Chain A
Amino acid sequence: GENVEQHPSTLSVQEGDSAVIKCTYSDSASNYFPWYKQELGKRPQLIIDIRSNVGEKKDQRIAVTLNKTAKHFSLHITETQPEDSAVYFCAASTIQGAQKLVFGQGTRLTINP
Chain B
Amino acid sequence: GAVVSQHPSRVICKSGTSVKIECRSLDFQATTMFWYRQFPKQSLMLMATSNEGSKATYEQGVEKDKFLINHASLTLSTLTVTSAHPEDSSFYICSAGRSSSTDTQYFGPGTRLTVL
A: which residues have CB within 8 A of B? 32, 34, 36, 41-46, 49, 51, 89, 93, 95, 98-106
A42-B109, A106-B43 are known; give 18 further A-B pairs, CB within 8 A. A32-B102, A34-B103, A34-B105, A41-B110, A43-B93, A43-B107, A43-B108, A44-B107, A89-B44, A95-B102, A98-B32, A98-B49, A99-B32, A99-B105, A100-B34, A100-B49, A104-B43, A106-B42
When the two chains form the complex, which single residue of A41, A42, A101, A105 contacts B105, counting CB atoms closer than 8 Å? Answer: A101
Contact of B103 among A41, A99, A104 (CB under 8 A): A99
Q: Which B residues are within 8 Å of any A CB, using their own CB? A: 32, 34, 42-46, 49, 51, 57, 93, 95, 97, 102-110, 112
Of all chain B residues, which has the CB nearest A36? B107
B51 near A98: Cβ-Cβ < 8 Å:
yes
User: Which chain A positions have C-beta within 8 A of B102?
Assistant: 32, 95, 99
What residues of chain A lie closer than 8 Å to B106, measured between beta carbons?
46
A102 contacts B109, CB within 8 Å? no
For residue A103, which residues in chain B have a CB less than 8 angstroms away from its CB? 43-46
**B57 contact from A36, A89, A98, A105, Cβ within 8 A:** A98
Closest to B107 in A: A43
Complex-state Cα separation, A54 to B54, whole angstroms: 35
A residues in contact with B109, CB < 8 Å:
42-43
The distance in angstroms between the C-alpha atoms of A45 and B105, with both chains bound, is 10
* Listed A/B pairs (8) with beta-carbon separation below 8 Å: A32-B103, A93-B103, A95-B103, A100-B46, A101-B105, A103-B43, A103-B45, A105-B42
Least CB separation from A42: chain B residue: B109
